């Protein structure tokens, strides 16, 4: 058992606070990781706002990298000293998705069995089964994915959530391939990662759409060949114009709203693919003529965590980064201290950053 400091959301809508957290020693199948960096993601804010569930208090943070400090009984392939990115898809190998050879959909992912608590024994709910705005955290060993230790923790940790979701939306779910035209609607951290993923996959045309010019500048630096500010021009018409009048082969929606989904739906070519990676809220409804759904053909897909397989995708993306083929640094807008998470939520809300990353 160890005492460390971490960021806790105690009640709905209330500012987060730094608390003393008790971390059990790792039990069978578990690991304790010394967290070196953890990015601030929208989902952390959603937890704080009660938008995910009511199981307060939450130990926030889930986009992290660090060094394994200790492993429990029966853990193989992971040792103290290993540099790891934490993932929230520790595949079980036994559920119906895993058994069918599609582990990126795993429906029974592993988390630590023991609980981290406050000093008075109150059990914490770790965000996405991780909880990483904390000096050390307890996770299932499968939530640790080893990557090249030369990568900086602030950069590597990004792969743990938003950036992986965006890359994967383009590369895995969208299946972008050489020569495709791709449009990305919403160019925050997730959408811009989709832009970078489309470039890596060899897309010939990458059209970035946002209502904020700063986001579009980032998109250009990450590989967008064209940008559209959709607060000024109709993005559907503009995307069609840029694609010979037809629409893009793959359109990634990285906002999570009915209006932008509808834009994505009509901005793709016949038989093209729409990928929804933006996360909607429960009140949102989509209305589309069913005849258009049929008549436009193709595929309407959702992308959960970029359909990633951490063991396959994290080390590969770190290698590409180390070779200079993938600018992960561009996603780190600022590094902050543990007690600056609340301020980072405000910056995120105002769209001032792609990612604020807590470094320890
Ligand atoms: N049209 C185009 N872009 C929009 C619109 C709109 N109507 N509304 C918002 N945006 C842009 C914002 O300007 C911002 O750049 O969408 C982007 C959203 O980015 P972020 O707020 O930084 O969020 P991000 O971390 O990228 O996540 C995007 O993916 O995983 C989900 O929960 C996440 O739903 C969220 C989405
Ligand atoms: Zn499974
Ligand atoms: Zn996240």
Three-class secondary structure assignment of the chain: CEEEEEEEECCCCCCCEEEEEEECCCCCCEEEEEEEEEECCHHHHHHHCCCCCCCCCEECCCEEEEEEEEECCCCCCCCCCCEEEECCCCCCCCCHHHHCCCHHHCCCCCCCCCCCEECCCCECEEHHHCCCCECEEEEEHHHEEECCCCCCHHHHHHHHCHHHHHHHHHHHHCCCCCCCEEEEECCCHHHHHHHHHHHHCCCCEEEEEECCHHHHHHHHHHCCCEEEECCCCCHHHHHHHHCCCCCEEEEEECCCCHHHHHHHHHHEEEEEEEEECCCCCCCCCCCCCHHHHHHHCCEEEECCHHHCCHHHHHHHHHHHHHCCCCCHHHHCCEEECHHHHHHHHHHHHCCCCCCEEEEC
From the CA of 129, the nearest ligand is: 3
| 11 — pLDDT class (breaks 50, 70, 90) | very high
Tokens of 210: 């946002």
Task: Tell which residue, 298, 264, 240, has the closest CA to residue 184.
Answer: 264
Closest C-alpha to ligand 1, atom 18: 188
Ligand 1 pocket residue status of 186, Cβ below 6 Å: yes
Query: Which pLDDT does position 81 carry in this prediction?
Result: 98
Distance from residue 301's CA to the centre of ligand 2 (Å): 20
Query: Which pLDDT does position 183 carry in this prediction?
Result: 98
Closest C-alpha to ligand 1, atom 15: 188
Distance from residue 289's CA to the centre of ligand 2 (Å): 36
Per-residue burial over 305-328, b = 16 or more CB atoms within 10 Å of its CB, e = otherwise: bbbbbbbebbbebbebbeeeebeb
Ligand 1 pocket residue status of 157, Cβ below 6 Å: no
Query: Which pLDDT does position 352 carry in this prediction?
Result: 92
Distance from residue 283's CA to the centre of ligand 1 (Å): 17
Determine the atom of ligand 1 nearest the C-alpha atom of 161.
Answer: 30
Mean pLDDT for 289-293 is 98
Closest C-alpha to ligand 1, atom 14: 188
Ligand 1 pocket residue status of 40, Cβ below 6 Å: no
From the CA of 40, the nearest ligand is: 3
Per-residue burial over 245-273, b = 16 or more CB atoms within 10 Å of its CB, e = otherwise: eebbbbbbbbbbbeebbebbbbbbbeebb
Q: What is the pLDDT of residues 101-116, one digit of tens each?
A: 999 999 999 999 999 9
Ligand 1 pocket residue status of 353, Cβ below 6 Å: no
Distance from residue 289's CA to the centre of ligand 3 (Å): 33
Distance from residue 28's CA to the centre of ligand 1 (Å): 39
Query: Which pLDDT does position 278 carry in this prediction?
Result: 96
Distance from residue 123's CA to the centre of ligand 2 (Å): 26
Mean pLDDT for 225-254 is 98
Ligand 1 pocket residue status of 310, Cβ below 6 Å: no
* Beta strand 125-126 pairing with 30-39: unpaired
**Averaged pLDDT score across all residues of the chain:** 97
Distance from residue 165's CA to the centre of ligand 3 (Å): 9
Q: What is the pLDDT of residues 30-78, one digit of tens each?
A: 999 999 999 999 999 999 999 999 999 999 999 999 999 999 999 999 9
Query: Which pLDDT does position 91 carry in this prediction?
Result: 96
What pTM, to 2 d.p., does this model score? 0.96
Query: Which pLDDT does position 327 carry in this prediction?
Result: 95
């Amino acid at each position: 058992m160890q005492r460390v400091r971490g960021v806790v959301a105690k009640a709905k809508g209330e500012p987060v606070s730094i608390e003393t957290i008790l971390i059990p020693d790792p039990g069978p199948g578990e690991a304790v990781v010394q967290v070196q960096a953890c990015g601030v993601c929208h989902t952390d804010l959603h937890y704080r706002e009660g938008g995910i569930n009511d199981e307060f208090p939450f130990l926030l943070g889930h986009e992290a990298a660090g060094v394994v400090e200790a492993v429990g009984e029966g853990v193989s392939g992971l040792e103290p000293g290993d540099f790891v990115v934490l993932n929230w898809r520790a595949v079980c190998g036994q559920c119906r998705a895993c058994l069918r050879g599609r582990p990126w959909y795993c429906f029974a992912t592993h988390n630590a069995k023991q609980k981290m608590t406050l000093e008075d024994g109150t059990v914490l709910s770790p965000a996405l089964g991780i909880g990483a705005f904390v000096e050390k955290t307890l996770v299932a060993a499968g939530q640790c994915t080893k990557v090249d230790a030369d990568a900086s923790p602030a950069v590597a940790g990004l792969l743990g959530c938003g950036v992986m979701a965006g890359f994967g939306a383009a590369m895995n779910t969208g299946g972008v391939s050489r020569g495709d035209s791709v449009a990305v609607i919403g160019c925050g951290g997730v959408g811009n990662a989709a832009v970078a993923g489309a470039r890596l996959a060899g897309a010939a045309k990458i059209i970035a759409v946002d209502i904020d010019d700063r986001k579009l500048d980032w998109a250009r630096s990450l590989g967008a060949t064209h940008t559209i500010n959709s607060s000024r021009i109709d993005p559907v018409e503009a995307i069609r114009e840029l694609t010979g009048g037809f629409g893009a082969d793959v359109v990634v929606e990285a906002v999570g709203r009915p209006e932008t989904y509808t834009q994505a739906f009509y901005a793709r070519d016949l038989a093209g693919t729409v990928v929804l990676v933006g996360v909607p809220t429960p009140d949102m409804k989509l209305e589309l003529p069913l005849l258009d759904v049929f008549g436009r053909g193709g595929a309407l897909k959702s992308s959960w965590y970029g359909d990633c397989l951490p063991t396959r995708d994290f080390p590969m993306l770190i290698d590409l980064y180390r070779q200079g083929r993938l600018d992960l640094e561009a996603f780190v807008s600022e590094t902050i201290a543990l007690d600056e998470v609340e301020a980072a939520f405000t910056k995120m809300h105002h769209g001032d950053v792609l990612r604020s990353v807590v470094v320890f």
